[in-house]
Amino acid sequence: MNIILFGPPGAGKGTQAEAIAERESIPTISTGNIIREALKSGSELGLQLKQYMSDGRLVPDEVVIGIIKERIEKADCKNGFILDGFPRTIPQAEALDKMGIRIDKVIEIEVSDDIIINRMSGRRVCEVCGASYHLVNKKPQKDGICDKCNGTLVQREDDHPDTVKNRLKIYREQTKPLEVYYSKQGKLAVIQGDNKSIKETVELVLNALEA
Ligand code: ADP
Ligand code: ZN
């Protein structure tokens, strides 16, 4: 099964993606994580992209399209994959269609802006493996330490409130139109994520995949 997950920053896409990945035994592809990895390695691509990310802007379509193309060709995607954070624009969605990549289901997670701004201030990520936590909603076993790899948990530069507002604006302008794009293709399921625990939302997402 080839699945797309989209929703505003802080909607919990990463957590949903992990749950689906585990149940379906397919990999999660997060363009955000791939780009953050590239930044750490200090590669030329990383340097170019750093500024876009820390400003909360989208990186150019051709860059992420290239990243996705290369990643989806790998053997582990043969039985399916979950795209977390791609596509984020209509041209990115069109690129997938043009590459002949069949998408089975698109899950949109809806969360209102004030809830997002609250949640983002508590988000922490592992600086080593990229795993995501929350000070209140998804605590690590030991404060400030990653459960998976013992790495240190930090706040992402683009999770600061002003940058989050900018990311939300860009989300509404550029990503939200995917709703119409995929609903026309008959693939869209929308899930309300407000005031629900992570577990409840995961449940709804898994149910939507069976429908
Ligand atoms: P979140 O988890 O908050 O939704 P991500 O980790 O997915 O955020 O992405 C962080 C940043 O990486 C984005 O703000 C953007 O700069 C860049 N990025 C990730 N995916 C894409 C994409 N598909 N198109 C353009 N930029 C992207
Ligand atoms: Zn870690």
CA of 39: how far to CAs of 43, 65, 125, in Å?
7, 17, 15
Higher per-residue pLDDT: 119 or 181: 181
pLDDT per residue as tens digits for the range 66-81: 999 999 999 999 999 9
Out of 25-29, 124-128, 198-202, pick the least confident: 198-202
Q: Please enumerate in sequence order all residues whose Cβ is within 8 A of that of 172, keeping only pairs 6 or more positions apart, or say none.
A: none
At residue 45, does pLDDT exceed 80?
no
pLDDT per residue as tens digits for the range 159-171: 988 889 899 999 9
Higher per-residue pLDDT: 141 or 121: 141
Question: The whole model's pTM is what?
Answer: 0.88
H/E element holding 185?
none
CA distance 171 to 146: 29
The residue to mutate among 59, 63, 108, having the most atoms of ligand 1 within 8 angstroms of its beta carbon, is: 59
Residue that has been written with the tokens 């409840």 in this structure: 200
**In the structure, which protein residues have their CB atom closer than 6 angstroms to any atom of ligand 1?**
9-10, 13-14, 30-32, 35, 52-53, 56-59, 64, 85-88, 92, 158, 167
Q: Please enumerate in sequence order all residues whose Cβ is within 8 A of that of 176, keeping only pairs 6 or more positions apart, or say none.
A: none
Is-catalytic flag, 23? no
User: Domains (ranges, CATH) in the chain?
Assistant: 2-26+79-112+174-210 (3.40.50.300)
Identify any residues that bridge with 189 across adjacent strands, giving them in sequence order. 107
pLDDT per residue as tens digits for the range 91-103: 999 999 999 999 9
Q: Helix 13-24 vs helix 198-210: angle between axes, to the nearest 10 degrees?
A: 50
CA distance 86 to 29: 8
At residue 28, does pLDDT exceed 90?
yes
